[in-house]
Amino acid sequence: MLRFGVIGYGYWGPNIVRNLRSLEGCQVVGVCDQSPAARSRIESAHPGIPVYADAKELVGLPDVDAIAVITPVWTHYELAKSALQNGKHVFVEKPFTSTVAQAEELINLAEQKNLKIMVDHTFLFTGAIRKIRKLLNEDVLGNLYYYDSTRVNLGLFQHDCNVIWDLAPHDLSIMNHLLRKDAEAISATGQAHLNGHEDIAFITAYFPDSMIAHVNVNWLSPVKVRTTLIGGEKKMLVWNDLDADEKLKIYDKGVDVKSQEGVYNLLVSYRSGDMWAPKVEQVEALKLELNYFVECIQKDTQPFNGGCAGLKVVRMLEAASESLAKRGALVYL
Ligand SMILES: NC(=O)c1ccc[n+]([C@@H]2O[C@H](COP(=O)([O-])OP(=O)(O)OC[C@H]3O[C@@H](n4cnc5c(N)ncnc54)[C@H](O)[C@@H]3O)[C@@H](O)[C@H]2O)c1
């Protein structure tokens, strides 16, 4: 039986506690939040579970095996470090840390102590992403040209980070998981309008072999859009996460070029074939992910969304911030 302590019971924390409690082989032995209002919400939702105001108390308990850190990003490093120093495995929210240096330090500490870190990149466990990965593995799309994602809605404005650090970790972790190539350089532009943090931003990532990715994140959009296009040589894919029935559509559309001469003379033929919507498994991604974390601890295996995957995303976020400050200058990774 793996005993968990959870720190942070704001917006996302309740989902972690609920899912951990639903897993076999896993027990929540304490939940901590520094806010009195959050603590009374824990007490009414989970009577009987010990509630703590100070994370140090929970992290120091000898009967806790793992700590879930579900607090704002600027607190992740200190809380995760203290958990690792106390010999606990760590499940930490995205983005992993505020800086590359912090992420590297935590990875080293976990290695020294033979403890696991898992970064909550929830989307990697959704039916849609698992299906897309399978299609890419089977080379259904062929050589990839681009990845283009739009993640926009009205709010929720964060007071401690900009829209890139809030929303783009989803897209960057998905890209890293699916494309299996590392970006070589990043350029980002954006603008702050209301609270000093950028509320709209456009990130471009350049990959080897002419592959390019673009991510549009925005807290000031009148409508919610969650659409990603992946363009391949053989097929093109549209993932609309807001479509309940047909989240994925594969289009047999593209451009056929018979020869190099054809390119110069624009003698290309446009292919417009069938479209199909593959079945996407309906699963609660967070439950799968937490179950996988428990398995990784029990079997002593490294999770694919461990500290190194989290670090890769933080490195891209740092590069995007540097580029943003220079109005889009290219930053090499
Ligand atoms: N994986 C996802 O899809 C997903 C979705 C939403 C949020 N998140 C991530 O979850 C994290 C939390 O986001 P949120 O929206 O729940 O934030 P939130 O502000 O709603 O909640 C954070 C809670 O942590 C508590 N807290 C902060 N510092 C603390 C400390 N040192 N000790 C004890 N309690 C402390 C606060 O009182 C608050 O109740 C962020 O990193 C965010 O990026 C991930």
Q: What is the pLDDT of residues 103-129, one digit of tens each?
A: 999 999 999 999 999 999 999 999 999
Q: What is the mean pLDDT of residues 241-267?
A: 83
Q: Distance between CA 267 and CA 246 in Å, rounded?
A: 35
Residue from 118, 219, 218, 136 nearest 173 by CA: 118
Show Cβ contacts of residue 47 under 8 Å, excluding neighbours closer than 6 positions.
Answer: none
- Give the C-alpha distances (Å, rounded to integers) separating 180 from 92, 235, 327: 23, 18, 28
Residue from 107, 72, 112, 73 nearest 90 by CA: 107
Q: Is the pLDDT of residue 260 over 80?
A: no
Total residues found in the chain within this entry? 333
- Calculate how far, in angstroms, residue 13's C-alpha sits from the geometric centre of ligand 1: 7
Give the tens place of pLDDT for each residue, 154-174.
Answer: 989 988 899 999 999 999 999
- Calculate how far, in angstroms, residue 260's C-alpha sits from the geometric centre of ligand 1: 53
For atom 39 of ligand 1, the residue with the nearest CA is 10
For atom 43 of ligand 1, the residue with the nearest CA is 94
Does ligand 1 lie within 6 Å of residue 305's CB atom? Answer: no
β-partners of residue 149 are 215, 228
Does ligand 1 lie within 6 Å of residue 120's CB atom? Answer: yes
Q: Residue 270 has what pLDDT?
A: 86
Query: How buried is 164 (Cβ within 10 angstroms: 0-12 exposed, 13-18 middle, 19+ buried)?
Result: buried
- Calculate how far, in angstroms, residue 166's C-alpha sits from the geometric centre of ligand 1: 11
Q: Distance between CA 212 and CA 312 in Å, rounded?
A: 17
Cis geometry, peptide bond prior to residue 248 (ω within 30 degrees of 0) = no
Show Cβ contacts of residue 333 under 8 Å, excluding neighbours closer than 6 positions.
Answer: 182, 183, 184, 185, 186, 315, 316, 319
Kindly state the DSSP code that residue 158 receives in the 8-state scheme: P
Does ligand 1 lie within 6 Å of residue 83's CB atom? Answer: no
Does ligand 1 lie within 6 Å of residue 13's CB atom? Answer: yes
For atom 3 of ligand 1, the residue with the nearest CA is 122
Lowest mean pLDDT of 9-13, 192-196, 225-229, 265-269, name the range.
265-269
Phi-psi region of 210 (alpha: psi -120 to 50; beta: other; left: phi over 0): left
Please, what is the angle between helix 163-179 and helix 307-325, to 10°? 130
Q: What is the mean pLDDT of residues 199-228?
A: 98
E strands, the chain, are 2-7, 26-32, 51-52, 66-69, 89-93, 117-120, 144-154, 185-192, 198-206, 212-218, 220-232, 236-240, 248-257, 268-276, 331-332
Q: Is the pLDDT of residue 262 over 70?
A: no
For atom 24 of ligand 1, the residue with the nearest CA is 8
- Calculate how far, in angstroms, residue 9's C-alpha sits from the geometric centre of ligand 1: 7
Does ligand 1 lie within 6 Å of residue 75's CB atom? Answer: yes
Query: How buried is 257 (Cβ within 10 angstroms: 0-12 exposed, 13-18 middle, 19+ buried)?
Result: middle
What does the DSSP assignment read for 287-312?
Answer: HHHHHHHHHHHHHT---TTSHHHHHH
- Calculate how far, in angstroms, residue 254's C-alpha sits from the geometric centre of ligand 1: 43
Q: Distance between CA 87 and CA 322 in Å, rounded?
A: 35
Q: What is the mean pLDDT of residues 224-240?
A: 97
Does ligand 1 lie within 6 Å of residue 64's CB atom? Answer: no
Does ligand 1 lie within 6 Å of residue 137's CB atom? Answer: no
| Average pLDDT over all residues of the chain | 96
Under a CB-based contact definition with an 8 Å cutoff, are residues 55 and 77 in contact?
A: no
- Give the C-alpha distances (Å, rounded to integers) separating 14 from 31, 121, 137: 10, 17, 35
Q: Is the pLDDT of residue 258 over 90?
A: no
For atom 34 of ligand 1, the residue with the nearest CA is 33
Does ligand 1 lie within 6 Å of residue 38's CB atom? Answer: yes
Q: Residue 263 has what pLDDT?
A: 64
Question: To the nearest whole percent, how much of the chain has pLDDT over 70?
Answer: 97
Does ligand 1 lie within 6 Å of residue 289's CB atom? Answer: no
- Calculate how far, in angstroms, residue 75's C-alpha sits from the geometric centre of ligand 1: 9
pTM given for the model: 0.96
Does ligand 1 lie within 6 Å of residue 5's CB atom? Answer: no
For atom 7 of ligand 1, the residue with the nearest CA is 12
Q: What backbone phi and psi angles, to 5 degrees, belong to 330?
A: -70, 130
Does ligand 1 lie within 6 Å of residue 126's CB atom? Answer: no
Q: Is the pLDDT of residue 90 over 80?
A: yes
